[in-house]
Amino acid sequence: MNRIHPSFQKALLTQGSWQKDRAPADRKTLKPTSLPKGDFGIRRDYVLVPLATPTAGISACTAAKLWQSSLALFAGLQDCNLHPDIIVYNASVSALEKGRQWQLALQQFSDIPSAKLAPDIVSYSAAITCCEKSEQWQLALTLFTSLQKSQIVPNVISYSSAISALEKAGRWHMAVSLFHEMPRAKVAPNVVSYSAAISACGAGGEWELALSLLDAMPHTDVSPNVITFSAAIRACDMAGQWQLALDLFSSMQRFKVRADRILFSAVICACESGGQWQVALQLFADMRVSKLPIDTTSCNATISACGKNEQWQPALALFSSMRLLKVAPDLVGFNAAISSCEKAGQWQLGLGLLYEMPRSQVAPDVISYTASIGACEKAVKWQLAASLFEELHARHLQPTVISYSAMISACQKASQWQLALHFFSEMPRAEVSPNVISYNATITAAERGGQWQLALFLFNSMPTARISPSITSFNATLGACGKGEEWPLALHLFSTMAAGRASPNIMSYNAMLDSLGDHPIGRRVFQEAMDAGVYGRLCDESPLILDLHQLSYGPALHAVSWWLSEELMHRLSSTKPTTCIIITGWGKTRPSWSSSNLQNFVLALLKQWGLPAAVQRHNQGRLEVVLGRDELMRFAGFLSVYNQPVDCYAAWEAPELPEFDILVTNPPYSGDHVMGPVKVENDSFAEFTRDVLGRCWGTGDFTVVVEEPAGDQTEGTKSPKELGVCRKEFVVLSAVLGTASPVFETMVKQDNFVEGAKSQVTITDFSSAAVEAFLRFLHFGTVEGSLATVLELGVLADKYAVSKLHRLCTGTVQDELVPTTACAIFELADRFHNMDLRRCCLDMILSEPVMTMKQRPGLSPQLMEEIVGSEALCIGSEDLQDLICNWDEASSEEEREVQGLLQAYAEGPATTHRRVASGDALFELKESYWGRGRQIALLLGPPENDWSDAVAEPGFLEALAHNDNFHTYSIAIQDGWIVWMMPFVSLYLTSFSFNARVLTEEVHFKVFCSEDGIDWKLCLDSKEHGDIEEDEDVRCEHRHVKWLKLLVVDGRFSTDFCVSGILLQPMARLQK
């Protein structure tokens, strides 16, 4: 009787029916001649089994996933002094692959050549599959590449395994490329190949490609299976295409594919991502009807789907039923349930779940605590939130940016701005980078705490942190500026927002109008919002009903005013009063942390306007206002309306003012008559007349023609003659032009002027945009257009002597002059020859180059040459190099030339002076260089004047020399002069200012400057300037000076004298 060698017996007895998997009898066995004669077995009482027997045993071990038994069988061959063939090696590698022992499998594979055997396709496929299952994609790809280089042709198994390995590693490009290589290699893809390729496309976000592969399967006679559909549905889920995921799920019946637990979970996850909680619940119910095993994945996805849509009741009901379904809640399930409570504001339930986790032997993680903190934040339980945050630290968990953001928001809603700032400042120390939500919460906290400077600082620091401000960032900062009564800052921020950085929404306009209050600009901003449709639903219900929902105090003020003056004015009868409604709400949905009361505000507003209102008895959120035409006229400022036929011409000829505020004529005015009432100095009537003139826009008896070069002149490749002329005409009333401008009045009224004779004027030195803005101002009284248009409009107004418009444009542009706009305005001022504005811009660029040129400046090479050619440019070579490195790549030849100028300046000889910009240079010298020798010498004159009393006072000369405001001394001179001499520094002079108003009718003084004390230049003559306001910057020609002289010609000069400019301190002197 033949017995089996113990080495095999030990391995084969570890599993039951290895004989069932016996290899076919035709496999090669070890020939007797390959062993020494007479030594067929190791011991005489045992016989050696044929090689087919251990091969079958190894295969049986493979099927039973007993890789250790397989390895023992393989080792037993060596104990028997037998040499395994390639079939045995393949079986052994496959067994190790099934056991996920990739290192041992690859070792067996690498031993094949040592056994003087050549790996075949089975060897390679088994090794690649082993690497794929162990997520060793580099090794899998190396083996596949080696296979291609050999004489062996890859088969579908090797391709599928390699594709799967790449898919699991997220190398979807390579996986899809390998899949498309299969037809060229004459290898037909199978369902495994397709499934792996579809899964790879999904991981790469290429859901369209994944679906196209799925659609192609029937055309290649490959039927998709449940794994294929699962991969396609996951691809749709990752791309947010939940509808397509459901369509795929429905189409499975056509292919006779029955959904399993994994596929149901995939579809539920897709519904969760798409917010389809009802569908997710239905699918979960279908799983139970189909008697599929319920797992944590499907439960968690369904709970999360409900929670994300604030459906906390079904989410918690499902969570509670998990134990009945014999599914133990895991960490993901607890977190999903807590998150559902957080989104619904159910903070008590959320905390209950958090403290239940340890009892369920589930350790809370940072997500658990973050969701609980978020629930407390929504309920304004900031103390509880802070306690949870401390507990998170105590458990040695690392807070995330979401944790910090939730904590900051909790402090913000409780008006704890200092605590919010504490948590925000703690983030860098915790190595957590703030995101836009963290910034927004902290800015809002600062806004609620009235800390507008802090809010503005945080907002301006966002780009430095490489975070783009969101609409919420803008809105919170606007609100902060409003509460700080800094409406000019808010308006500037709002204008940059409207220019394209972010589209203003209703909250933006609310914040802006809150800042402006009843300022006249507020009405213009409100009208802009109305035109944009932001407040388009104010009168949706009826013109007699004003709905103020979603409006704060500022927009509500303008909305009520607009409603009374524009909506109701032409609808109400003068005889029959009408009950009108204002919907304010009564605070039912107002957040608990909000203290606003819109209803009380509107009641007070109507009372102030003399319009009695009362709260409706049956609806506390509505106000009733009984109005007639007379009440509306009084609201408009017309206290007396005289509705009688009057000879208006006779009234005009009378020396006294007319007794009416509103003039109604039949027929309407024509010709010169239309402008008659404008000369009446009455604000209410002027507003009415502007409305009349607005209706006359586009009609009249005079034509304004604008001729400008056609085409794009920015490239400078063609002359105006080559470009041609573009002609645009505007029809206006000559009376409008003549009344507004004395220049036009002379043109249109005198026949000896060509313009008057032809009723036409041709303008060739201004753009059509500026001319149109000019004419619109004359009709509507407002200015609209880009910064360039407004600047050009100011020059045009100056030419045609429309002083009011000139002042408006100049003031508007000066308000826009900040470091971020200085370069743009400098270029425009140079183009339109506005020398005063040009000088202001140049001063700002020289004194603040890091801020003004933070972004690539759109300046011509000539202007940049002027900047770098100035000795007063306050920037060092290293800082300038850093500035240039942060610019975007130059896109034109001109930009490259400008960058080259700055580069040459940065790489040039080292600067010989330290430059410091100062608004009070005399005081700066004391503050910065005190103790390094006297920085200023002081001369008093003339000699015949008696200065002994002043000089005798302690500290007087020191205070006078350095304009020291900490002393009580001010300059007090009568018929004398003072000279300041700076021996060690020079000054790039820009302007002067005074700390008290200077009335030039009471005092006449002059300011001179000099480089050497011999040749003096006049900088300022007070008689030529007019009265000087307190702290007004009086600009002067730029000069490098070392001497300044203040000469009082007549009267008594008594104020502080501030000199602004850029101090140039020699480096050698500085080192000493």
How do residues 105-124 score in pLDDT, each as one tens digit? 777 777 777 777 778 888 77
pLDDT for the residue 402: 92
Confirm if 738 and 748 have CB atoms less than 8 A apart.
Answer: yes
- The pLDDT value given to residue 646: 63
1017, β-bridge pairs: 1009
Examine the pLDDT at 1037 and tell me if it is beyond 50. yes
Confirm if 772 and 707 have CB atoms less than 8 A apart.
no
List CB contacts of 815: < 8 A, sequence separation 6 or more: 488, 491, 492
3-state SS, residue 1061: strand
Q: Which two tokens stand for residue 670?
A: 């024509």
Encoded tokens for 403: 């944790």
Q: Residue 449 and residue 435: Cα distance in Å, rounded? A: 21
For residue 287, what pLDDT is reported? 81
How far the first Cα of the chain sits from its last, in Å, is 111
**Dihedral, CA atoms, 777, 780, 784, 785, nearest 10 degrees?**
-60
Convert the pLDDT of each residue in 492-521 to its tens digit.
Answer: 888 887 665 678 889 989 888 988 888 888
pLDDT tens profile 419-431: 998 999 889 888 8
- Residue 763 DSSP label: E
Looking at domain 417-522, which CATH architecture does it have? Alpha Horseshoe (1.25)
Question: Which range, of 41-45, 64-68, 276-280, 604-608, averages the lowest pLDDT?
Answer: 41-45
Q: Please determine, looking at this structure, whether the domain spanning 537-635 carries the CATH number 1.20.120.1200.
A: no
Say whether pLDDT at 242 is over 80.
no
Tell me the residue type at 231: A
* pLDDT (0 to 100) of residue 13: 38
Distance, in Å, from the CA atom of 401 to the CA atom of 783, rounded to the nearest integer, reads 45
Confidence band (pLDDT; 50, 70, 90) for 483?
confident
Using DSSP's 3-state secondary structure scheme, residue 729 falls into strand
Sorted by sequence, the CB contacts under 8 Å of residue 855 that are 6+ apart come out as 820, 887, 888
Q: What is the pLDDT of residue 70?
A: 65
d(CA 561, CA 635): 9
C-beta separation of 268 from 298 below 8 A: yes
pLDDT value for 401: 92
In angstroms, rounded to a whole number, what is the distance separating the alpha carbons of residues 482 and 511?
Answer: 7
Nearest to 273 by CA among 238, 303, 249, 312: 238
Pairing of the two strands 913-918 and 1057-1066: antiparallel
Interatomic CA distance for residues 606 and 328, integer angstroms: 63
pLDDT interval class at 716 (50, 70, 90): very low
Give the residue with greater pLDDT, 174 vs 931: 174
> Each residue of 834-863: pLDDT tens digit?
888 888 888 888 888 888 888 888 888 888
Q: Could you tell me the pLDDT band of residue 306, with boundaries at 50, 70 and 90?
A: confident
Could you tell me the residue ranges of all domains in the chain? 1-118, 417-522, 537-635, 648-688, 817-911, 914-1071
Q: Which residue, 320, 232, 246, is CA-closest to 276?
A: 246
pLDDT tens per residue across span 662-686 = 555 554 444 444 444 444 344 444 4
CB 101 within 8 A of CB 70: no
Domain 914-1071 has CATH 1.10.290.10: no
Q: What is the mean pLDDT of the chain?
A: 77
CA–CA dist 750, 755 (Å, integer): 9
Task: Supply φ then ψ for residue 726, to 5 degrees.
Answer: -100, 130
Q: How far apart are CA 723 and CA 742, in angstroms?
A: 34
By C-alpha distance, which of 15, 104, 11 is closest to 54?
11
Rg (CA), the chain: 43
Asked whether residue 542 carries a pLDDT value surpassing 70, the answer given is yes
d(CA 921, CA 939) in angstroms, rounded, equals 18
**722 CA to centre of own chain:** 44
Closest CA to 808 of 800, 818, 819, 797: 797
Residue 937: pLDDT band (50, 70, 90) is: confident
